[in-house]
Structure 1
Amino acid sequence: MSARYAVHGPAAVITLDNPPVNGLGHATRRDVADGLVRAQDDPAVQAIVITGAGRAFSGGADIREFDTPQAMREPNLLSLILAIEASGKPVIAALHTVCMGGGLELALGCHYRVAAPGCQVALPEVKIGLIPGAGGTQRLPRVLGVEDALNMILSGEPVASERLAALPGQRLFDRLVEGDLMTGALAFAAEVAARRPLPLVRRLTAHHPNADAYFQFARNTATAMAPQFPAPRKCIDMVAASVALPFDEGLRLEWSTFTALMLTPESRALRHVFMAERAAGKIADVPADTPVRSVKRLAVIGAGTMGGGIAMNFLNAGLPVVMLETKQEALDRGVATIRRNYEAQVKKGKLTAERAEQRLGLLSTTLDYADLADADMVIEAVFEDLGVKEQVFRRLDEVMKPGAILASNTSTLDLNRIAAFTRRPQDVIGTHFFSPANVMKLLEVVRGEQTGKDVLATVMQLGKKIRKTCVVSGVCDGFIGNRMVEQYLRQAFLLVDEGSTPQQVDKAIERFGFAMGPFRMSDLAGNDIGWAIRKRRYAERPHMQYSKTPDLLCETGRFGQKTGAGWYDYQAGKRDAIPSPVVLELIEGHRRTLGITPRKIGDDEIVERLVYALVNEGAHLLEEGIAAKAGDIDMVYLTGYGFPLHRGGPMRHADEVGLFNVVRAMRRFQHNPLDDAAFWEPAPLLARLAADGKTFGHGL
């Protein structure tokens, strides 16, 4: 049973019981409907209470049923709410902990609502490209007022029940229950059992004194803030309908709008992201109940930009950190940078001065490896050189206590070789943070050949604690993100050789939705970093075709923002990318040396070559088992590389375009004499899926 039925004196209690958040899947809806009928037929029952088992009233619709017949199988949520409204006996929703989406819509269909303090209330559908579809846009403005309701619907963020209860004129809650919720709900049910007529939210009115101007302002704001997403503007239209239309007419318009949005590529992408983010934490051969190690004290090797940012993650989570450097001046600089970061947060009102000092109080420093002996986990963030890593890990192997986790922040190096520098390779794991580490959401967790399952489970759990999106990668050069981005950049540089300018490439991919184009990104990261990788590639992969233009750029010392000059020029203290005539002359001169006559390249070709380079390399990663799921690759690119959210990640975007079309474009690129024909040979997995009419998301 997905909903339990019991009788407590004169009240029937229907308890949603569908872990983990009592999602309103078909089985749960059916059991609630059966419970309503049972209560109606029992003359001893005078009132009905609906609540949720465990840690939620209800988290809403079961998104796994979307795009399946189960989603609309009767009783669907609309039908269930209509049955509640039609009940001859009062129905009271007893809300606690979590009441979101369809769960809130169900509660709004009840005659009364009581809530425990601290209950998190939300209509988050906009986050998956939808509007509330079971009356939420029509009922919430009637109980909260138009502006407060619209703010909740547009943000999708949860609001505490006591805050909502304090709003002037609110009619969402009939009572906040201190103490035991069920005791209070049953007492309230006894009070209202004989009251007639039964109140219905649909009978209330939604009103705004200046509706036309208010809604137009809201539309303008939504268009400016989220131009790629249709759902926010539709949310506004639906709340406007609650003011302008009779309830049933507004309900019909809401439903037709909801079903139309379900079919949009933006909603499909966001629903994919929702599922992929949750799936990323699930590792096929690591059961959810795998024992984890206790991590209560951290150590960080290196007090530079990366080491300091990594340390801040754990300080923010209330974990003490000892930071090691080789020189006191480096430690002092690192601590000063961390302090400046916290002071900046205090100045912006994001953190209190007291909390900042508490976090800084958890930080200690040392020049002696022996002081790390009590740490449960150590993360090295030293120079990206295997010889340097070897020295660090051999020393850690000597001083760290048995069972301590030894982690490397390497972004490209072979973790298995690093693990081999120790006598405990089962304790070694990669934790690849992205810069700035205290801001970026992505954490690539690199699993070595001998990494223990308990170590992997521990680090994944710890990643959640520091609010990272953790994605597991196998060991290869560059792991998931950097291995793919190398091919993306390689295409960007070849496009410039053939006739594009850095500005054109950047603008084309930014119009596609990337946060930053490849040339601006390279200038931000440092062009010398890519140069060092290419030098290694020339020796390791002499057959691979690279443009030499970025090497010529680096030979002039134009390393990017840190030198004030890269692919663009930069003014001191500013990050604005200014097109550089020096760079254009360098590019044109190199073309003349190569005998290349520049051609006009369209933005569509630029976008396809950059994005499909990611897709093809991603397919190789899946084939090799470096990435377990296409959704994992998408999460890496959405949270670490600025891929446009409304497209759902590179692999999801390829599915949307159609893998047949992706392969056809790649075959076309193979005929370009200035491109790398071998690279554009579709990865075997991509070729198979395209031939079979399948997608990367198939089976996710």
Structure 2
Amino acid sequence: MSDYTYDKDQDGIVTITLDMEGQSANTMNSRYIQMMEEILGRLQGEDGLSGVVFASAKKTFFAGGDLNMLRAIERADEETFRFVEANKAPFRALEKLPVPVVAAINGAALGGGYELCLACNHRIVVNDPKAIVGLPEVTLGLLPGAGGVVRLTALLGLEKALPHLLEGKPVKPQAALEQGMVDEIVETREALVPAAKAWIKANPDAHTQPWDQKGFRYPGGDTLHPRVRQTIVATPAMLYKRTRGLMPAPEKILDIAVNSMRIAFDPALRTESRGLCTLLVTPQAKAAIGTFFFGMQAIQSGKVRPKGETWRATSSAILGAGMMGSGIAWAHASAGLPVVLKDMEMDKAEKGKSYSAALTDKRVKRGRMSAAQKAALLAQITPTSDDAAYAGADIIIEAVYEDIDLKEKVIGATFGQLSDSGIYGSNTSTLPISVLAEFCPDPSRFIGLHFFSPVDKMKVVEIIMGEKTSQDTLRKAYDYVQQIGYMPIVVNDSRGFFTSRVFGTYLDEGLALLRDGMSPVALERAGWMAGMPVGPLAVHDETSLVLSQKVRKTHEALDARLGGESGFGADNTASRAIVDAMIEQDRGGRHYGGGFYDYAADGSKSLWSGLDQFASGKGGIAVQEAIDRLLYRQAIETLRCLDEGVLNTEVEANLGGIFAIGFPAHTGGAIQFIRGVGIDQFAARAAELAAKHGPRFTVSQSALDRLRGDQVQAA
């Protein structure tokens, strides 16, 4: 075979260098079992064998399971169980070798790659931040099924293993050493194999794993130890608070980890296999693999990016030092992109820079940033009130208030400051880019760059193409968004674009439920149970009812200016009526002292007692009915955006909905939610909701036909 090299030195140590042909990474593909069986056969028949080193010829050590293969599994049957058992069997055979086995970790060892490391007697990693280790399967709706749950629990003990198993975060070398996930660090890749061989020579009898030794005791204590019992009792409640019972993988991992401590090692491994079989066929796993792995891969690799050489901005300017402008300046400075933060008055520009200073202070206090790093970041931001300060900038972003007259003035006055090859972006959330582009001399270099608040946490940017925006400008905007470490979602111009349109439906349906007589407590709970970050009333308070009203009035003025009606937000009748009435009663949202909630000085809040005035319906709405209304309303609007050509791809629809709007992550995004329910079943339920509640739940035949066509094409 050509998937590995096998080299035995004069001391009897065999180095296996994994190098799977035709792949950029080593994976558990269709050739993996055959390869491992061949390796084990050679090792077991080797005369004078004194040790084994596993290394890699790839940039990464081992990437683990083949997700295409796993996603194709449809049934949790005996065949699936045998497949899972066959994949992990080589690791148990490695543990039975009568010689020490060492993992020489030259790069990322995640999932099955780290499970291979766990089956070795010693783990050495190179001191490189890219040489991360961990078990991220939970983030894909799965569990580490090649021994990861059982072995990590035995290696670290339950209390220390659970965070790695339940959160799936990758761990860098130094932290991995401190936490016991690896045993040794070397400074260079070239030093890995020599260090591994040196350890084997120094420890010729270290070939029995701790869990196979007589009298083995779990680090931190067994399940009867008081601290461990406390962990076992407290963790389920913590998990439910985090997952709301919508993600089965964490619960399954916890169950297997705890019970692995109560039974023998090999039966525990079989229990782990059964758990993986169960999770492989869940809609949550299918959704997570499709969206968070393959979808993110498509975005990061530039599959939806225009072809052309990579562009990099070296200078930038933000116009408007309010909350959004200050946040964007932080994003630039954090990525090492020098930025001029301009406002009409110098004290406002300085205040905008102080936003970044406050964020860096928090990081310094928490030990996540040094004083020198803070100073370097803040040095990237230059506050000013003078347009000449950013002459020749590669990218200018206007982030002034959502007022078309103000934006017209600013864009026209500042476009000339761009470099000859620079691009100009507008951080508008709803105003048509094609209309704003009329205010600049070269519309081909004008594009929408919609950031989300708070910018330092919401790592996604909606890139909006105007009618005259060039593909060259789109390519540069895409590269710029990735340059500052954010995820680009490309959409075409329309009122409200994609995110604001869909977000508005969530707010409106919450108010429609209030209008129909559902208790405010119950409807907020329904939003939480659906998997949204917070209920619709709470999020409306945070984004501000005053802003909602301003956006609507801005578009009414724009309709008058352009002649005709855009239809933007036409179905949001509950919002129109209730928001205006709330503002008349000085209930503008949290920023204005109170909205749907009252806010106490100690930071607590409670629903406002006056909300019953808006209930004109009979009530009696079941929680599941409310959940359906909240999710279907958003999914239908997302599907409309896809059908109208506002959205270009399902990948962007799914990821944009999750990261920008907060659509429940366990669904894999709004379009994946429809596919998970089943296109026909979704259409039938939408028709029921439309018959009962009105045309806002109507799904067009063309949209359904598109979904079915895409499904056939993908198959």
* TM-score normalised by length of structure 1: 0.87
- SS of alignment partner, residue 376 of structure 1: strand
Question: Which residue matches 1:699?
Answer: 714
> Which of the numbers 101, 106, 117 marks the counterpart of 2:111?
101
Trace 1:207-356 onto structure 2 (pairs within 5 A).
Answer: 207=218, 208-209=220-221, 211-212=223-224, 213-227=226-240, 228=245, 229-275=247-293, 276-281=295-300, 284=303, 286=305, 290-356=308-374
Quote the Cα distance in structure 2 between the aligned partners of 1:553 and 1:117: 58
Q: Which amino acid in the other structure matches residue 552 of structure 2? A: R
Residue matched to 2:573: 546
Task: Calculate percent identity across the aligned residue pairs.
Answer: 26
Q: Residues 54 and 460 from structure 1, CA distance in 2 versus in 1: closer, same or farther, beyond 3 angstroms? A: farther
Q: Does 1:58 align with 2:62?
A: yes
SS of the aligned residue for 2:63 comes to coil
* 1:607 matches 2:627: yes
Query: 1:327 Cα shift?
Result: 1.8
Q: Report if the CA contact (8 A) 1:5-1:35 is conserved.
A: no
Q: In structure 1, the residue corresponding to 2:65 is in which secondary structure?
A: coil
- State the match for 2:197 in structure 1: 188
Asked whether the 8 Å contact 1:514–1:644 carries over to 2, the reply is: yes
The reply on whether 1:475 has 2:493 as its aligned counterpart is yes
User: Higher mean Cα deviation, 317-326 or 526-535?
Assistant: 526-535
Residue 381 of structure 1 and its aligned partner are, at CA, apart by: 0.3
Find the partner of 1:682 among 690, 694, 699.
699
Match for residue 126 of structure 2 among 94, 116, 121: 116
Aligned to 2:533, the other structure's residue is in SS state coil
Query: Secondary structure at the residue paired with 1:439?
Result: coil
Matched residue, 1:446: 464
2:689 to 658, 666, 669: 669
2:394 to 360, 370, 376: 376
Q: Determine which of 385, 410, 418 is the counterpart of 2:403.
A: 385
Compare 319-328 and 2-11 and name the one that shifted more. Answer: 2-11
Alpha-carbon distance, 1:557 to partner: 3.7
- The answer on 1:584 being equivalent to 2:612 is yes
- The amino acid across from 2:63 in the alignment is G
Q: Deviations over 1:398-434 (max 9, x none)?
A: 1211111211111111122333433433432222111
Residues 525-549 of structure 1: CA deviation (Å, up to 9, x unaligned): 1112222333466652577572323
2:420 alignment partner, SS class: coil
Aligned to 1:594: none
Give the Å deviation of 1:135.
Answer: 1.1
Tell me the CA shift for residue 624 of structure 1.
Answer: 2.3
Q: Could you tell me which amino acid in structure 1 is paired with residue 425 of structure 2? A: A
Deviation at residue 191 of structure 1 after TM alignment? 5.2
**Residues of 2 paired with 1:59 and 1:385: CA distance?**
49
Bigger shift: residues 542-551 or 132-141: 542-551
Report if the CA contact (8 A) 1:293-1:454 is conserved: no
Distance 1:209 1:75 in 2: 29
Give the 3 Å change call, closer, same or farther, for CA 670–426 of structure 1 in structure 2: same
3-state SS, counterpart of residue 244 of structure 1? coil
In the TM superposition, what is the alpha-carbon distance from 1:63 to its structure 2 partner? 1.9
Asked if 2 retains the 8 angstrom alpha-carbon contact of 1:105 and 1:135, the reply is yes
Q: Distance in 1 between matches of 2:196 and 2:236?
A: 47
Q: Is the 8 A contact 1:286 1:457 kept in 2?
A: yes
Q: Structure 2 unaligned runs (5+)?
A: 74-78, 560-564
Q: Call closer, same or farther: CA 1:218–1:466 in 2, change over 3 Å.
A: farther
Deviations 1:205-238 (A, max 9, x none): 3424353344432234332332124433433333
Partner SS, residue 27 of structure 2 = coil
Task: Tell me how far apart the structure 2 counterparts of residues 337 and 501 of structure 1 sit (CA, whole Å).
Answer: 38
TM-superposed CA distance for 1:323, in Å, is 0.6
Q: CA shift at 1:184, angstroms? A: 3.2
Unpaired segments of 5 or more residues in structure 1? 592-596
* CA spacing shift, 1:485–1:43, aligned 2, 3 Å: same
Q: Which is worse superposed, 568-577 or 490-499?
A: 568-577
State the distance in 2 between where 1:186 and 1:339 align. Answer: 44
Distance 1:699 1:521, change over 3 A: same
Task: Name the amino acid aligned to 1:579.
Answer: W
Cα distance change, pair 473–23 in 1 and its aligned pair in 2 (3 A): farther
Q: Equivalents in 2 of 1:567, 1:406: separation in Å?
A: 38
Partner residue of 1:79? 89
User: Equivalents in 1 of 2:100, 2:364: separation in Å?
Assistant: 50
RMSD: 3.5
Which amino acid in 2 is paired with 1:277?
M
Does the Cα contact within 8 Å between 1:33 and 1:83 map onto a contact in 2? no
Which segment drifts farther, 220-229 or 523-532?
Answer: 220-229
Q: Helix, strand or coil for the counterpart of 1:404? A: strand
CA contact (8 A) 1:390 1:418 kept: yes
8 Å CA contact 2:99, 2:206 repeated in 1: no
Residues 544 and 508 from structure 1, CA distance in 2 versus in 1: closer, same or farther, beyond 3 angstroms? Answer: closer
Equivalent pair of 1:280/1:472 in contact (CA under 8 Å): no
**1:626 match:** 646
Q: Which amino acid aligns with 2:89?
A: S
SS in structure 2 of the partner of residue 5 of structure 1 = strand
**8 Å CA contact 2:15, 2:55 repeated in 1:** no
2:150 to 130, 133, 138: 138
Distance of aligned partners of 1:660 and 1:326 in 2 relative to their CA distance in 1, 3 Å threshold? same
Amino acid at match of 1:280: I
- Cα drift, residue 520 of structure 1: 1.9
1:54 is paired with a residue whose SS is coil
Cα drift, residue 35 of structure 1? 4.7
Cα distance in 2 between the residues matched to 1:544 and 1:364: 44
Cα offset, 1:505, TM superposition: 2.5
- Once residues 395 and 515 of structure 2 are traced to their aligned partners in structure 1, the CA distance between those partners, rounded to angstroms, is 47
Displacement, 1:364?
0.8
Query: Residue 677 of structure 2: which of 649, 657, 663 is its match?
Result: 657
Secondary structure class of the residue paired with 2:573: coil
Distance in structure 2 (CA, Å) of the matches to 1:334 and 1:697: 51
Give 1:264 shift. 3.4
Which residue of structure 2 lines up, in the alignment, with residue 26 of structure 1?
30
User: Per the alignment, in what secondary structure is the counterpart of residue 226 of structure 1?
Assistant: helix
Amino acid at match of 1:330: K
Separation of aligned partners in 1, 2:196 and 2:221 = 38
Aligned equivalents of 1:74 and 1:463: distance in 2? 40
| Structure 1 segment 393-408 matched on structure 2, within 5 A | 393-408=411-426
**Whole-angstrom CA distance in 2 between matches of 1:599 and 1:387:** 43
The equivalent position to 2:592 in structure 1, one of 548, 554, 563, is 563
Cα shift at 1:450: 4.3
How far did residue 256 of structure 1 move?
A: 1.1
Listed one character per residue, the Cα deviations across residues 76-114 of structure 1 (whole Å, up to 9, x for unaligned) are 421332454466776543212211110011223345543
- The answer to whether structure 1 residue 647 and structure 2 residue 667 are counterparts is yes
How many residues matched?
A: 682
**Residue aligned with 1:114, SS:** strand
Partner deviation per Cα, 1:446-476 (whole Å, 9 max, x = no partner) = 2334444454344434434433233222221
Paired position in structure 2 for 1:636: 656
> 1:391 offset after TM fit, Å?
2.4
Equivalent position of 1:15 in the other structure: 18
Secondary structure (helix, strand or coil) at the match of 1:133 reads: coil
TM-superposition CA deviations, 1:597-630 (whole Å, max 9, x none): 6343222222222211111111111122322333
How far apart are the structure 2 equivalents of 1:231 and 1:353? 40
Instruction: Give the aligned partner of residue 212 of structure 2.
Output: 203
Q: Map residues 377-526 of structure 1 onto 2, 5 A cutoff.
A: 377-526=395-544
Residues 433 and 448 in structure 2, CA contact (< 8 A), matched pair in contact too: yes
